[in-house]
Chain A
Amino acid sequence: MTLTKQKNQLPVFKKMSTQPWSLLAPLLIVLLGLFLYPIIEVIRYSFTNLRFGRIEYAYTLHSFKSVFTDRNFLDMVRITFTFVIFSVTFQLINGFIVAFAIYIGEKLKLKGSVFVRTSVIISMAIPGIIIGVIWRMMLDESPTGILNYYLSLFGFGPVRFLTDPKIALISVIIANIWRGTANNMILLYAGLKTIPESILEAADVDGAGSFRKVFSIIIPSISPVLMICGLLSIIGTFNTFDMIMSLTGGGPAGATEVLALSSYKEIFVNYSLGKGSAIAAIILLINIIMAMIYFNMNKKVEV
C-alpha cells in the first residue's frame, strides 16, 4: 500500500497524462451511488424518528438523546471496548509469538514451520459466521461438549461457556482471537524479516541474552508494524458482527451485544430506524477516526 508522490519532470510525461476521469468514472459512479449516498442517508436517518411501517417522520435529535440516555447503551459501549481491547491484545501477543517462533524455527531449519504457518492461515479462510458455528459446537455445555469434557478430566467445570454472561464475553473473545491471529502473524513475520541480520549478530557479540534481544532490539525495530497490526485488529474487531451473531446472538441477556449488533437489533427487531441509524452513525464516526489514524501511521511507516 504505497502512496508515492510522483514527480515526473520529463516533458514527455506531461504530454502523456491526459485526463484521468474516463478511467475513474466507473469507480466514482459505484462508490458515490452505493457507498457515499447510503452513508449520507444513514446520517440523515439518525436525525429523524423514522420507523419501519410508518411513512411520516420528523427531524429531531431524539434518536441520539435516547441512545445516550439508554442505560443499555453504556453497557454496550463497555462490552464493545472490552471485546476490542482483549481481542486485540491477545491477537497481537499470539501473532507475535507464532511469527517469532516461525522466524527462529526457519533460521534453525526446523521441520514443521510451514505446517504451523499454514494451520494458522487456514483460520483466515473461514467465514466469520462459520467460526461462530464451529466454536458454538466446541463450547457445547451439555455432557457431550468436548471442551467441557477435557476440562472435567482436570477437575474443572462444567463451565457455562455461552450461558453465563461473564464467561460468554470471554468465549466470544477467545473465538475472535482464533479468527484474528493469522493476520497479525503474517504482518509481524514480514516485519521480523526486515530486521538486518547485522544488528542481531552485533547483539550476540555483546553477549545479550535471548530475552534482552527480544525486548531491546526486536520489538523496538518492529514497533511500527506492531502499531499497524494493532490498528487493523482494532478496526476488524470493532466491526465484528457475523461471528457474534452465530456464536451467541448477542446473548445471554445482551452480555455480548456489541454496537454493530445493537444497531441491527434496533432497526430490524424493534423497527426503530432512527435510533438504529444513530448507533450506526456513531460506528461510522469511530470507523472514520480509525481510518485517519491508520492513514497517518501508514505514511510515517513508508517514510
Chain B
Amino acid sequence: MKNKKTRGKKVLIYAIYILTAIFFLFPLFWTLCLSMKTVPELFQVPPKILPKTIHFNNYIHIIKNTLVLKYLKNTFVLVGATAFGTLLISIPAAYAFSRNKFRIKNNMMFGLLIFQMISPLVIAIPLYSYLAKLGLLNNYLILIMIYIALRVPFTTWYITGYMNTIPKELDQAAKVDGCSRIRIIMSIIMPVCVPGIISSIIINAMSAWSQFIIPFILVDKGEKLPLSVGIINLQSTSEAITTHYLAAACMISVIPMVLLYIIFQKFIVSTISGSVKG
C-alpha cells in the first residue's frame, strides 16, 4: 500500500521534472541548434531540430563581420568595474550601518530599499538630457558610475545583513588594540564576509551583464555598445543578419553568464533565499 503510494508520487514528480526541464531548456537548445545551421537548413520545411553537422562557421562569421567581440569586451569592462566599484562603496557603508547607531539609520535603510525598486528608466531620462548637453554620452567612466549607483542599494543592504550576523566582539578586541576602522574592515570583517562578498559580486555581475535601459539610452556610438544593446541592433538590421547568425550571437552573449551561474549556483541560491529564514 505504502509502496504503491510512493511509486505514484515518484511518477508524478518525474512528470513534473520532465515538463519543467523541457520548458526551460528547449528555447536554449533550439537557439544552440539554430546557431549551427546553414541557410538551406534554416529554410527547411518542416523544420528539423538538430543541425546536420556540428560546426562553428556562423560564430566565426559573426565575430568577423560584426562588432560582437567589441561588444563583449565592453560588457566585460562594465561588469568588472561595476562589481568592484560597488563593493568599494558598499562595504564601508555596510560596516557603518551594521556597527554604528545613528538617528536616521532606519530611514536610510528604507531609502536604500526604495532605490532598489525603482526602474532605471526613471533616472535614465534626466541623465540623458544632461549628458547629451555636456557631450558626455558614451563616456564609460560616467556609465560605470551609473551602473554602480544602481547596484549599491541592494549590495549595501545585503552586506549589512551579512555583517549583522558577525559577533561584535570580533572587532571590539581590535578596536581596543587601537586599529583604525579601515584596517578593521580590511583585516577582520572582510575575511569573514567572503561568502557574502562573492554572492554580491555574482549578483551584481549578472545584473550589469544584462543591464539594458541605461546603455540603450546613454550610449549611441556603435563601438561603445555592450552586448545587450548590440544584440538588439543586430536583430533590427535583420536583412544583413539571418536567424542562424543572430542565434550564434545570442549564444556568445549567454554562455559566459550561464557557466558562472552553474558554477556558483549555491551562492546564488543562498543569496536569493536570504530573505527567507527558518
Contact = CB atoms under 8 A, between A and B. Distances in A.
Contacts of B51: none
A105 B17 contact: yes
A177 B164 CA distance: 35
B114 A133 contact: no
A39 B118 contact: yes
A27 B89 contact: yes
Interface stretch (A71-79, A110-118, A164-172): A110-118
Contacts of B93: 23-24, 26-27
B257 A125 contact: yes
A85 interface: no
A81 interface: no
A280 interface: yes
A63 to B, nearest CB: 13
Given A26-B93, A137-B247, A194-B276, A241 B28 contact: no
A137 B122 contact: no
A267 B232 contact: no
A138 B24 CA distance: 12
Interface in B173-208: 175-176, 181, 206
B74 interface: no
B141 interface: no
Chain B CB count within 10 A is highest, among A116, A263, A287, for A116
Given A112-B17, A122-B28, A242 B228 contact: yes
B264 to A, nearest CB: 10
Nearest to A175: B27
A31 B153 contact: yes
Contacts of B38: none
Nearest to B243: A137
Given A13-B168, A143-B46, A187 B122 contact: no
A26 B92 CA distance: 9
Contacts of A45: 125-126, 129
Contacts of B246: 133, 137
Interface string B231-250: 11001000000010011001
Interface in A117-137: 117-130, 133-137
A108 B6 CA distance: 8
A134 B113 contact: no
Interface in A186-231: 186-187, 189-191, 193-194, 210, 225, 228
A182 to B, nearest CB: 8
A187 B100 contact: no
How many of chain B's residues touch chain A, expressed as a range?
Answer: 35 or more
A32 B217 CA distance: 21
B63 interface: no
A268 B137 CA distance: 15
A280 B125 contact: yes
A93 interface: no
Contact of B275 (A19, A181, A228): A228
Interface string A278-295: 001001100110111011
B1 interface: no
A264 B209 CA distance: 21
Interface of A: 1-4, 6, 8, 12-13, 16-21, 23-24, 26-27, 30-31, 33-35, 37-39, 41-42, 45, 52, 97-98, 101, 104-105, 108, 110, 112-113, 115-130, 133-138, 140, 143-146, 149, 178, 181, 183, 186-187, 189-191, 193-194, 210, 225, 228, 235, 238-239, 241-242, 245-246, 260, 263-264, 267-268, 273, 276-277, 280, 283-284, 287-288, 290-292, 294-295, 298, 301-302
Given A18-B181, A20-B100, A27-B89, 7 more contacts: A34-B145, A38-B122, A116-B17, A125-B257, A127-B228, A133-B246, A178-B24
Interface of B: 6, 9-10, 13-14, 16-17, 20-21, 23-28, 30-31, 34, 42-47, 49, 88-90, 92-93, 95-97, 99-102, 106, 108-111, 113-119, 121-127, 129, 145-146, 148-150, 152-153, 156-158, 161, 164-165, 168, 171-172, 175-176, 181, 206, 209-210, 212-213, 216-217, 227-229, 231-232, 235, 243, 246-247, 250, 253-254, 257-258, 260-262, 265, 268-269, 272-278
